[in-house]
Structures are given as structure tokens and as C-alpha cells.
């Protein structure tokens, strides 16, 4: 069992024996400010992590979607369905350096 004198020495006091409330008030304000700062940092970190996770999931979702298909049938084509990602032969011919030269 602790004695009363041990307990009294644990409390910060002025020279006249009264409790130093200003010391405890300043200390609690500093601890409260540190807790708020840490909470703000943690909140920002978690928000950034959530946004990053959603971005990665969104990119993965978009990448896994199949390419849209356009009906490119004509009397000269034997292929009835062509993905949009594949350029047509006319586009390849028109983009060649020879076709871009003006004489």
C-alpha cells in the first residue's frame, strides 16, 4: 500500500504547497493539440489510401472491360465485326508518309 507522502510527491505543487494547476492545464492543452494533429494526419493518410485504392480498382475495372465492337461490314470486307482498337486499312494508308506529302 502506498503512503500518503508518496502520493503527495507525485503531484506538482507550488512552493506554498498548493497544486500547480497552470502546469497541468498547459500540459493537457499540449497533449490535446498533439492528439488532434495526429488524428488529422491519420485521417488524411486514410483518405489518401482510400482514393488510391479506388483509383487502382477503377483502372483495373476499365482495363478488364472488353473493347467495344463496331459493325464494319461492307461489300469489300470479309470480316463482319471489327474491334474499334484496330485501325482500318484506309487509315493506315492515309497516315503513311507518302500520302502526307504535298507536291
Do residues 12 and 20 lie in contact, with contact meaning Cβ atoms separated by under 8 Å?
Answer: yes
How many domains would you assign to the chain? 2
SS3 50: helix
- Domain boundaries, position 51: 1-65
Q: What is the pLDDT of residue 62?
A: 87
Q: Verify that 49 and 83 share a domain, yes or no.
A: no
pTM for this model (two decimals): 0.45
Same domain for 45 and 10? yes
Q: Residues 55, 33: one domain? A: yes
Q: Are 12 and 30 contained in the same domain?
A: yes
What confidence tier does 64 reach under pLDDT thresholds 50, 70, 90?
Answer: confident
Amino acid at each position: 500500500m502506498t503512503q500518503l507522502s508518496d502520493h503527495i510527491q507525485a503531484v506538482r505543487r507550488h512552493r506554498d504547497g498548493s497544486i500547480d494547476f497552470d502546469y497541468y492545464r498547459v500540459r493537457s492543452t499540449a497533449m490535446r493539440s498533439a492528439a488532434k494533429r495526429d488524428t488529422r494526419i491519420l485521417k488524411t493518410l486514410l483518405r489518401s489510401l482510400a482514393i488510391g485504392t479506388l483509383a487502382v480498382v477503377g483502372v483495373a475495372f476499365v482495363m478488364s472491360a472488353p473493347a467495344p465492337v463496331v459493325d464494319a461490314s461492307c461489300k469489300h470486307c470479309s470480316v463482319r465485326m471489327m474491334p474499334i482498337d484496330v485501325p482500318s486499312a484506309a487509315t493506315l494508308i492515309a497516315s503513311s508518309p507518302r500520302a502526307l506529302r504535298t507536291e
